[in-house]
Amino acid sequence: MLDYDFMRNAFAAAGIVAVVAGLVGYFLVLRGQTFAGHALAHVGFAGATGAVLVGVEPLWGLVALTVTAGVGMGAIGEQLANRDVAIGIVLAVSLGLGLLFLHFFTAYASQATALLFGNVLAVNFATVWTLLGLGLVSVAMLAVISRPLLFASLQPELAEAKGVSLRLYSVLFLGIVGLTVAECAQIVGVLLVFALMVGPAATALRLTAMVATGLLLSAALALGEAWGGIALAFYTDWPVSFWITALSAGGYLLSTLLRPGRNR
């Protein structure tokens, strides 16, 4: 399997993105902002297709729009949790804009499918290095804000009383989420970002209450699901994204059987 260059690139790209998604996704689930993360993925589709329309690499359109939207959502602050309807409308409009952009360039229909559902087997060596750079930026930023972010997530009233700006850390975190969503879309597509960002994190939160252990477990589960999905796709000829999603859902289902009393 690893005799092929495209398979080595796929494993490298999926490994980088999975670890980042597992770490960032842990905080996303902990903070109860998974729907916002899902909306960012759809916003990214409009950014990617818009980039194609003007002749720019889709990845950079994804990054630009998801990070911008993430910062904007973070600026809403704690009101974000009460605006599911508004986020849902933004989500739908973003998909509509993406389809409109594709209407003007129908030759990119196959590229649109890759954006929606992912195509990790088409990742080239240059993209692997790009994902590595973006991943290091995401993890470094998360490491810098992790302690006050955790404080603000678990005890927001006390954190605010201690001088921690809830809005600032919401802006910074959702900006990181936007960047991570753009990376995940290269592996599983914008419609299946939940598979890498939410599934492993939700499973980890069910299995352990320890933050450090949960972060490591979330990253390990995401990595195992990503690599397992690629290997299963190679031997079955079924889509990689399907296998990653199936493994993610299976892992969470198993965790509910092992720890039925936990809320997550």
Residue ranges of the chain with per-residue pLDDT less than 70: 76-90, 105-117, 191, 260-264
Question: What is the CATH classification number for the domain harbouring 184?
Answer: 1.10.3470.10
pLDDT for position 209: 86
Non-local (6+) Cβ contacts of 76 within 8 A are 83, 170
- Cα–Cα distance for residue pair 30/150, rounded to 1 Å: 9
> Is residue 60 situated within a structural domain?
yes
Give yes or no for a contact between 174 and 22, defined as CB atoms under 8 angstroms apart.
no
> Is residue 223 situated within a structural domain?
no
Domain count of the fold of the chain = 1
Residue 17 DSSP one-character state: H
> Is residue 165 situated within a structural domain?
yes
> Is residue 207 situated within a structural domain?
no
Find tokens 């299963």 and name the residue. Answer: 232
> Is residue 67 situated within a structural domain?
yes
pLDDT for position 77: 58
pLDDT for position 169: 85
Exposed/middle/buried for 109, CB within 10 Å: 0-12, 13-18, 19+? exposed
> Is residue 244 situated within a structural domain?
no
pLDDT for position 170: 83
pLDDT for position 51: 79
Find tokens 């999975």 and name the residue. Answer: 18
pTM for this model (two decimals): 0.84
- Cα–Cα distance for residue pair 45/80, rounded to 1 Å: 21
- Cα–Cα distance for residue pair 253/264, rounded to 1 Å: 11
pLDDT for position 218: 94
Structural domain that includes position 158: 5-195
pLDDT for position 228: 94
> Is residue 259 situated within a structural domain?
no
> Is residue 260 situated within a structural domain?
no
CA-angle at 65, arms to 58 and 69, nearest 5°: 155
